[in-house]
Chains A and B, each alone.
Chain A
Amino acid sequence: MGGIALTTSGLGHAYGNIAALHSLDFEVPRGRTGLVGANGAGKSTLIKIMLGILTPTTGTATVLGLDTRRDTIDIRSIVGYMPEGPCLPLDQTAADFLVYAAGTAGLPKRAARQRASDVLTLVGLNEERFRYLGDFSTGMKQRAKLAQAVVHDPELVFLDEPTAGLDPSGREEMLDLIERLGGFGIDVIVSSHVLRDIERTCDWVVMLDNGTLLNAGPIGGHQTEGTVLLELIGDPQPVADALTSTGATVATRGRTLEVSLAHGDVYDVVRDAVTRTGASLRRLDGTGGSLEDMFLKHGETR
C-alpha cells in the first residue's frame, strides 16, 4: 500500500493566545503511524485539524491528498475517528448504535446492519450486541468506540489514545486489534503518550513536544542503529575482541559491554560475536534505539 496518508506544511493552531501547534512540516506514508507526545503536546489538536473540526491558524494539511480546509466533507466520508473521550450514547444497544454510526457515514441500511454485526464480532462484542452501552465496562466501551470508527470501512482511521483506561489484558487486546486493522487495508494513525504501544503497533512515528515537531520517521529504521548493552557470564574480553574486529565500538565496564555500530544492525553483529565465541549471555538491552530513547534524544537536541 504505497502513497501518502498525511502531509502538513507550516501547520499551526492557536486557541486564542495559546499556541497549540507551531509550524509543523511532515509527511506520513500510508500504513500504521504513531503520533506520540506528552499530554498537551498537540496530538488531539492535530487530529481535529485533520478531520476539519478545527481550522488551522496557519499553514495547510492534507489527508489522503485532500485539503482539510476545502475538502472537509470528502475527508470525513473516507476516514474514521475514535476520540479519546466518550462518544457512545448510553441509552442505546451496541448493535443499534453501530447501525446508526454506519448510516451516518452514508452506508445503506442493509449494509449498515451487516457491517455492524461483522465489526461487533471483530472487536469481540458480538455476544453483547443487544446490551445497552451504558451497562458496558470500560474495556467494552473502548472496543465499541473502535467499532464505530471502522464500521463504515474507512480508508484511514484516527485513534486518539485507544488504550486509555484499560487494564493490561484489555490493553493487549486493543493493541492486537489495532495491529489487525492494517491487514484489512485500513491505514491507522494512533495517538498515544505510551511509547511502548506505538512501538508495538506502528511502522512510522511523528513525535510532538509542546506543539513542535521533534521527529517524523520510520520506527524500525532507528531500532537497528544505536547502542546495545551486553552483560556476559564469564570473561567478556573474547566477545569484545570479536565485536571490535567487525568494526563495532565497544566499551567494557566489568562484565558489561556497551556496543555501538555506525552502520548496519547492531543486534546481528552481537548475535554473530556471541555465537562465534560461545559466550553465555546474562542480559541484552537495547539503548538508544527504542522510541523512548529517540524521544529523549530529539528532545535534548532541540
Chain B
Amino acid sequence: MTDRSGAVYDLGYEPFEGERSGRKGARKAVYFDGIRRVLGLRRKARRKVMPWMLLFIAIVPSIVAVGVSFVIPADAADAIDLASQNADFFLLGGTMALLFTALASPELLIPDRKDGVLSMLASRPLTATDYLGTRFASLATVVISFMIIPQLVLFIGQAASDPEGLFQGFANAADTLPKIAAVAAAYTIAYIPLGFVIASLSNRKAIATASYLAVMIALTAFAEALVRESNITGGRWFVLLTPINTADAANVWIFGDSNPDSLYVAADIHPGAGILALVVIGAGLSLFALNRYRRLM
C-alpha cells in the first residue's frame, strides 16, 4: 500500500555563504549588463533592431568582398585586392560606429539615472569611476567589434587567398593586426567620450542622440569652413577638434594610404598631432563626465 502521508517542508531562508567577489564582481556585472543593454539583449524585440542592423551593415560588405575575391581570379582586371581594403572598411565601420555610439551612449547612461537604478548601484561596492569605466568598456567593446569584425573577415580572406597557403598567409598578413588595433582605438577615443558627456547632461535619449550627431557634424562643417573657405590665421588648427576627420585621417595614415581630399591635408597638419589631440580631449571629456557622476554615487 502506498504511504499517502505527506509532509510540508518549509524551505525557509537560505543565507548565502559562498565567496563574494566584491568590487571586481560588481564591475564585471555592470560591464556585461552594458553589453546586453546596448545590443538590446534580454530586452523587447524593438530594442534589438537598430544595433543589429548597424552591425549587419558594418560586417556584410567585408564578407561580400572576400566572397567576390574568391570568385574573380586575382589577375582579372576587376579583381579585389583585399590587402588594400582595410582603410576603406574602417571608413564604413567607423560611420556605423558613430551612429551606434550616438544611440548607445544615452541608452547606457540615461535610464540608470532616470529610473533611479544609480541609487541601487550606489549601495553596491562600486565607485563612480568603476561605474563609468565599465560602462565605457562595454560600449568600447561593441564599437570596436563594429570595426574589428570586418577587418578580421578581410584578414582571414587575405590569408586564405595567399598562394603560399593559409598558415603562411596568416603570417604574411600579420603586420596589419597592430594597425587594425590602433585605428579601432583611435575611432573609440574619438567617438565615445563626447557621447558620454552629452548623455551625462541630458535626461532624454532622443535629444542626447540628436545632440551628439549635431555636435559631431557641426564641428566638421565649421572646420571645413575655417580651413577651406576662410583666411583666419591659425584657423586650420581647428581641425584638431573634429573627431570624425581626425579618426578618418588617422585611419588613412596608419594604413599608409593617402586621401588628397582629407581636411588634414588641406590644413597641412600631420594626423599624428590629431591623434594626440584626440587623447587629450578624450581624457578631458571623460574627467568632465566623471566629475558629474562623483556627485551622484
Contact = CB atoms under 8 A, between A and B. Distances in A.
A binds B: yes
Interface of A: 51, 53, 73-74, 76-77, 79-81, 83, 85-93, 96, 100-101, 103-108, 111, 115, 118, 122, 132, 148-149, 152-153, 158, 183-185
Interface string B2-25: 000000000001111011111111
Nearest to B296: A53
Nearest to B111: A89
A89 B25 contact: no
A134 to B, nearest CB: 9
Contacts of B23: 73, 77, 106
Q: Which of A92, A111, A149 has the most CB of B within 10 A?
A: A92
Contact of B124 (A83, A86, A104): A104
A128 B47 CA distance: 22
A112 to B, nearest CB: 8
Contacts of A153: 15-16
B22 A185 contact: no
Contacts of A101: 120
Contact of B29 (A76, A81, A88, A100): A100
B297 A53 contact: yes
A114 to B, nearest CB: 8
A121 to B, nearest CB: 9
B123 A81 contact: yes
Contacts of A105: 20, 25-26, 124-125
Given A73-B23, A106-B25, A89 B16 contact: no
B293 to A, nearest CB: 12
Interface of B: 13-16, 18-26, 28-30, 32-33, 42-44, 47, 111-112, 115-117, 119-127, 297
A173 B121 CA distance: 26
Nearest to B43: A91
Contacts of B120: 81, 83, 87, 101, 104, 148
A132 B18 CA distance: 29
Nearest to A121: B11
A226 B235 CA distance: 82
Given A101-B120, A104-B25, A108-B18, 4 more contacts: A51-B122, A76-B125, A79-B123, A107-B16
Given A93-B42, A103-B28, A106-B25, A86 B115 contact: yes
Given A81-B123, A91-B111, A118 B14 contact: yes
A106 B47 contact: no
B85 to A, nearest CB: 38
B131 to A, nearest CB: 10
Q: Please indicate which of the listed interface residues B29, B43, B44 has the most CB atoms of chain A within 10 Å of its own CB.
A: B29
A100 B33 contact: yes
A87 B20 contact: no
A2 to B, nearest CB: 18
Contacts of B44: 91, 132
Given A51-B122, A148-B120, A106 B26 contact: yes
A107 B25 CA distance: 7
A73 B123 CA distance: 9
A73 B117 contact: no
A296 to B, nearest CB: 32
Contacts of B14: 118
Given A73-B23, A91-B111, A115 B29 contact: no
Given A51-B123, A83-B119, A83-B120, A96 B42 contact: yes
Contacts of B29: 100, 103-104
Contact of B25 (A53, A86, A108, A185): A108
Nearest to B12: A184
6 contacts: A51-B123, A81-B122, A106-B21, A122-B13, A184-B13, A184-B15
A111 B119 contact: no
A107 B20 CA distance: 5
A184 B12 CA distance: 9
A105 B19 CA distance: 11
Contacts of B16: 107, 111, 115, 152-153
Nearest to B122: A53
Given A93-B42, A104-B30, A87 B13 contact: no
Contacts of B22: 73, 77, 106
A227 B49 CA distance: 69
Contacts of A89: 111-112, 115, 117
Contacts of B125: 73-74, 76-77, 105-106
A83 B296 CA distance: 14
A73 B297 CA distance: 12
